[in-house]
Amino acid sequence: MKEIRVRNALIVSCMHRAGYTGFRGDGLQEARPPDNATALPAGAWGYLGAEIAGVQGFHAPRTAGPGPGAEAPAAGSGEAYDSARIDCDRQTLERIGAPPAPGADLLGRLFSDSMTATGRDGRVTAATAQWADCMAAAGFRADDPRSFPEPYRAAPQATPAELAAARADADCTTRSNLAAIWFTVLAGYQRQQIDRNGPALNAHREAVRAQDAKLTRLLAEGDAGPTP
């Protein structure tokens, strides 16, 4: 996230001005994309990607390590260091400002509601039943695509049995058309939510844009101190 970059840059700059020139940040890194773009192929929609099923199973792919030049945070201790760090945290929070919480809360509630409505929709439940019948024919007892992978994920890495189960899941997802139906239904409910909550969502979008512009400006300022 851009906010992580801004936070690190501002705290490092502040600590350097306070005299702790060896401080290199908290070691926080932006989320890096996984080696495989399909990080979570299995869910309520079934399994996406037959080619991944036979390699990855139900385990998330390994993510890339820290980027080039990533450094561990410099150690610091003592009352003066702690006081400087607390003050730099305060200054950083003041400069970044609070995120647009009301709009984010609304988005979270609408997303949760859309997921619940999708799971209860007759089109989805019918497709899920077809998926379960297909899985039973393949030799797997499974009623819910969400809970089916859980026992396999307990293992540290994918086993041959897990890969076979994932391949069956992917095949049955295709045969039942579960994923296509699930995402189509979800999109329909979310379009209804957008229509009903247009003004509030537009206001949140503008707040997010303003916050993003502020973060971009703070990044561009580099090592500049706090604006008086």
Match 């502040």 to its residue by tokens.
Answer: 14
pLDDT of 175 higher than 60: yes
Q: How confident is the model at residue 100 (pLDDT cuts 50, 70, 90)?
A: low
**pLDDT tens sequence across 25-76:** 765 444 454 444 446 688 999 999 888 898 889 987 765 444 444 444 444 6
Task: Give one DSSP letter per residue of 107-163, joined into a string.
Answer: HHHHHHHHHHHHHH-HHHHHHHHHHHHHHHHTT---S-TTTTTHHHHTSSS--HHHH
Which of 7-16, 33-42, 203-212 is least confident?
33-42
Find all residues with CB under 8 Å of 83, minimum gap 6, and list them. Answer: none
For residues 18 and 57, the model is more confident at: 57
| Among 124-128, 161-165, 201-205, the least confident range | 201-205
pLDDT at 11 over 70: yes
Provide the whole-model pTM. Answer: 0.66
H/E element holding 47?
strand 46-47
* pLDDT of 226 strictly over 50: no
Phi, psi of 47 (to 5 degrees): -120, 130
Q: What is the pLDDT of residue 62?
A: 63
DSSP secondary structure of 78-108? SHHHHHHHHHHHHHHHHHH----HHHHHHHH
Identify the pLDDT of residue 225: 47
